[in-house]
Structure 1
Amino acid sequence: MVSMAYHLKDSRAFAQRALQWAAKFDSACYLDSNGYRDNYGNLDVFIAVGAAAEFVADGHDTFANLQRFIDAHPGSWIPGFFGYDLKNEIEQLYSRHLNRIDFPDAYFFVPQYTLLIGQHNVEIKGADPAAIVREIEATEVTDGPPGFKGQLRYRVDHHAYFTTFDALKNHIRMGDVYEINYCQEFYAEEASLNPLETYRRLNAVSPTPFSCFFKYGDRYILSASPERFLSKNGNTLISQPIKGTAPRGKTGKQDERLKTQLAANPKEVSENLMVVDLVRNDLTRSAEPGTVEAPALLEIHSFKQVHQLVSTVTCQARKGISATEIIRNTFPPASMTGAPKISAMELIDAYEDSRRGVYSGALGYFSPQGNFDFSVVIRTMLYNAKKRYLSFQTGGAITANADPEKEYDECLLKGKALFEVLKGR
């Protein structure tokens, strides 16, 4: 493997050619931060293609087996995903619904080629970096429509949503949980689409810090996630849960008013603080004693489609703990479960009408330096081209004072970009 850096005249144009080139491989990961930068992530565009080695979960000891896979490939970038249903390995839980989308519970690969694209340069690692540059620069970028064909359906109709909402609020009144994230699926059977063009359109409609095109054979993850699940930078662990959503305004004045209302909304604020407490508790299992803290609470982050309330929780990892054990101790993402976490996950499986699979799991990479960065898989389409099945889900937190009509509308707001892309708007 050879690593070389090249100067770029137009990094965005090169990234689009590189994405087109990457999509022809059976295993591909394209991560785009879309210019969002913070103190915890420093990648602009990351591309990994071709599987020199693969890890596929088989339902047994996934986290420990993955760690052995990582240890067997030191100095490698290792991108991949964790599915939500790994909860069944972590706790005494199960999933009653069919795996219609047919993704494994986890998949990671050691790439044949990696590209780190910055504002002016690209660093390429592979057998022949110069040949890779020539091949990418000769690649013609397509610019077609998503080409979606199929009928998008609601797994849960309006009436069923309200019935389930009331049942879950009753569990809150009885003290079984005090917050639960309830999700619904939108799907299409016998569906077809162009995954690459669909992703490009999604990233244009809803550019986010954790945008991702991920290909695993004939299965695709097309993500516009705004949320960091967990990262490790040196010895520091960082989680940035999102709870609290408001639409963007049509004018600057209206936009500022909606931000002010979100920051002062008691229900949204209480949801966010509940999740912060849950994340703090999860991180304690991996932390040096006394290091868990929340340096930023209830910050408003504005994206093209929505405003969000985001908090940051950090700690120092205790000595000797492995990367996958850290993730296992915090998985699934707290913002997608509820509190208490195990009770919430039991109710989720009892009341939701679909298996979550990759949705509300985590997507990202392990780095050669022993760091990692994973997003929460939300605002994301999942597509199995062989089975011709398309799926995406949206959800929101139910608390004692939650209003069903508002929560239902929030689900549709969170799926707005996905609906727009499939409708060709």
Structure 2
Amino acid sequence: MNFLLNVILFLLKSVPKFSFASFPTANYFIVILSAIKTMSLRTIFSKKIDNPEGFKNQLLHWSQQFAEVVFLDSNNYHQKQSSFDCVLAVDAFTSIKTDYHNCFEDLKQYQQQTKDWLFGYLSYDVKNDVEELHSNNFDGLHFPDLFFFQPKKLFLLKGNQLEVQYLRLCDDEIESDFDEINQCSVFNVEHSEIDIKQRISKDEYFSKVNKMLEHIHRGDIYEANFCMEFYAENATLEPVEIYQKLNAISKPPFAIFFKNNQQYLLCASPERYLRKEANKIISQPIKGTAKRFSDETLDNNSKSALEQNPKERSENIMIVDLVRNDLSHTAIKGTVAVEELCGIYTFEQVHQMISTVVSNVENTTSPVEILKTTFPMGSMTGAPKISAMKIIEELEESKRGLYSGAVGYFTPHNDFDFNVVIRSILYNAAANYVSFSVGSAITSQSNPEQEYEECLLKAKAMFEVLS
């Protein structure tokens, strides 16, 4: 048995990585994976970290030598549903990269065959695999519709306890990697000035929102999330530096630094899309935003006004109903419930209205099926969902791509956790294209001027770090 394991490890070390998409019928690939799974896939050990915040910083900078990076940071935000304070996954052993055609089935097969940690994203446009929908708007970023990878090296931090998981083929690198991490220099690099443009002008925005209101008054939809893009061409930036500035401003619970070769996501999201804990599914849609004030009285007044705002509550409740319907597709009958309705949560820049909807699923239910039947998240579409998505496509001028999608991970035990990609900067270093988008929910009570101001409030942090 040991001899066979050594032969397999030698073969695997001879090949830097497999792309599952490139070998859809590669039986030898599946055989190798199956053999490794029966012989302890990962080497796991724990370590106490004296300075977790400093270690996180070093870990992020150390990770930049790899082509594939997912760095998740909760910023120590207090939340009930959380497994780790920080996660780093690097260096793809296997991966899947595809467009939306049949993508959920491809992901399902990949997840079932690896039965390991997988990190990656679903772009907004994988909706086209679920329904008869299209995405034909301008795309300056050109990210794949779906990308996941199986990391060779994984770091899981909770408090000052670090768990390290390396694939067996590279576990002899653990000691040298820790030496590199501890010696890693943390440095700041200033980027050149970036000329940010607006894809939809203010007047065009008002016109499009009024068209959205016409659809609502006709009864085509009740609510839709309408977004607009800000962008820069011929732009060069330092992704780690920008991410850390953005994260420092917002300190959200679902911050993510993502890298796939020259494609980057710098994400300061406050919103969870979906989490699976054993048989429990948790969705936490955000609808409702109010600005923060440095004056405590004004800040408390803003928070109270949000809590009592009938328009914001109406928006949130409509999306809660949509989420309940989505979860019912895979839920055990009678288990869909609202744990919290219209709770008010405070972040560095804004107050947000968040609800928590839960359900239970059978052990046999595929994790990917749960994602497929709830995607895209209702907070970024509207209600009814399909009609809203069609109207969104007509009125918006940029392909959403990874914006409005979800980034997260699967565990070897079929659990998962995904955020909503909002309050984020996307960067294609090969194309020198920078993009960020913002949006708001349009309902019958919407005022175009107020919706526009809400968009600018959400864009404030991105403008600040890029200016």
Shorter-chain TM-score bucket reads over 0.9
Whichever residue aligns with residue 123 of structure 1, its letter is E
Q: Give the aligned partner of residue 54 of structure 1.
A: 95
Residues 294, 314 of structure 1: 8 Å contact kept: yes
Residue identity matched to 2:443? T
Q: Does residue 97 of structure 1 match 2:97?
A: no
When normalised by structure 1's length, the TM-score is 0.97
Backbone CA RMSD of aligned residues: 1.0
Inter-partner Cα distance in structure 1 for 2:418 and 2:429: 25
Gaps of at least 5 residues in structure 2 are 1-41
Amino acid at match of 2:269: S
1:62 Cα offset (Å): 0.7
Aligned to 2:78: 37
Counterpart CA distance in 2 for 1:141 and 1:364 is 26
Query: For the structure 1 residues 196 and 267, does the alpha-carbon distance in structure 2 shift closer, same or farther, using more than 3 Å as the test?
Result: same
Deviates more, 1:127-136 or 1:296-305: 127-136
- What is the deviation of 1:119? 1.9
Per-residue CA deviations over 1:207-231 (Å, capped at 9, x if unaligned) read 1000000000100000000000001
Identify which range, 52-61 or 347-356, moves more after superposition: 52-61
Cα distance in 2 for residues equivalent to 1:24 and 1:344: 42
2:138/2:397 contact within 8 Å kept? no
Q: How far apart are 1:38 and its partner, in Å?
A: 2.0
What secondary structure, in the 3-state scheme, does the structure 1 residue paired with 2:311 have?
Answer: helix
- Whole-angstrom distance in 2 between the partners of 1:111 and 1:37: 28
Residue in 2 that maps onto 1:286? 330
Letter in 1 for 2:184: T
Secondary structure of the corresponding residue to residue 114 of structure 2:
coil
In structure 2, the partner of 1:299 is: 343
Secondary structure, in 3 states, of the residue corresponding to 1:249?
Answer: coil
Q: Distance in 2 between matches of 1:48 and 1:37?
A: 23
Number of the residue aligned with 1:269 = 313
**Residue 319 of structure 1: how far off its partner (Å):** 4.3
8 Å CA contact retained: 1:148, 1:194: no
Q: 1:122 aligns with which of 145, 162, 167?
A: 162
Matched position secondary structure for 1:421? helix
Deviations 1:45-97 (A, max 9, x none): 000000000110233211111111111212x2111000001111100011121
SS at match of 1:38: coil
Deviation at 1:99, TM superposition (A): 2.7
Residue 329 of structure 1 corresponds to: 373
**Paired residue for 1:403, among 447, 450, 460?**
447
Which consecutive unaligned segments of at least 5 residues does structure 1 have? none
Q: Give the corresponding residue for 1:210.
A: 254
Measure how far apart 1:148 and its partner are.
4.3
Q: Which residue of 1 aligns with 2:59?
A: 18
Q: Aligned-pair distance for 1:150?
A: 2.9
Give the structure 2 partner of residue 72 of structure 1: 113
Asked if 2 retains the 8 angstrom alpha-carbon contact of 1:98 and 1:354, the reply is yes
CA displacement at 1:344 relative to structure 2 = 0.2
1:149 alignment partner, SS class: coil
Deviations 1:363-421 (A, max 9, x none): 11111221100000000110000001100100000000111111100001011111110
* Structure 1 CA distance for aligned equivalents of residues 51 and 204 of structure 2: 50
Please say if residues 148 and 422 of structure 1, whose CA atoms lie closer than 8 Å, have aligned partners that are also in contact. no
- Where 1:415 maps in the other structure, the secondary structure is helix
Aligned-partner Cα distance in 2 for 1:208–1:199? 12
Alpha carbons 2:194, 2:466 under 8 Å: kept = no
What are the residue-to-residue correspondences of 1:174-189 with 2, within 5 Å?
174-189=218-233
Deviates more, 1:6-15 or 1:216-225: 6-15
> Per-residue CA shift, 1:276-330, capped at 9, x if unaligned?
0000000000100110000101111100000000000000013422011100000
2:186 pairs, out of 141, 160, 170, with 141
Aligned to 2:49: 8
Output the CA distance in 1 between the equivalents of 2:45 and 2:72: 20
One-letter amino acid of the structure 1 residue matched with residue 65 of structure 2: K
Equivalent in the alignment of 1:378: 422
| Contact 2:213-2:442 at 8 Å conserved across structures | yes
Matching residue of 1:162: 206
Among candidates 79, 83, 95, match of residue 123 of structure 2: 83
The residue matched to 1:390 in structure 2 has which SS? strand
Q: Distance in 1 between matches of 2:427 and 2:43?
A: 34
Structure 2: how far apart are the matches of 1:234 and 1:24? 34
Aligned-partner residue type, residue 73 of structure 1? T
CA deviation string 1:152-197 (max 9, x = no partner) = 0000000000000111100100000010110000000111100010
The answer to whether the Cα contact below 8 Å between 1:3 and 1:129 also exists between their aligned partners in 2 is no
User: For the structure 1 residues 86 and 24, does the alpha-carbon distance in structure 2 shift closer, same or farther, using more than 3 Å as the test?
Assistant: same
Structure-2-length-normalised TM-score: 0.89
Deviation, structure 1 residue 40: 1.5
- 3-state SS of paired residue (1:314): strand
Which is helix-richer, 1 or 2? Answer: 2
Q: Single out whichever of 248-257 and 223-232 deviates more from structure 2.
A: 248-257
The whole-number CA distance in structure 2 between the counterparts of 1:118 and 1:134 is: 21
Per the alignment, residue 382 of structure 2 pairs with: 338
Q: Which amino acid aligns with 1:133?
A: F
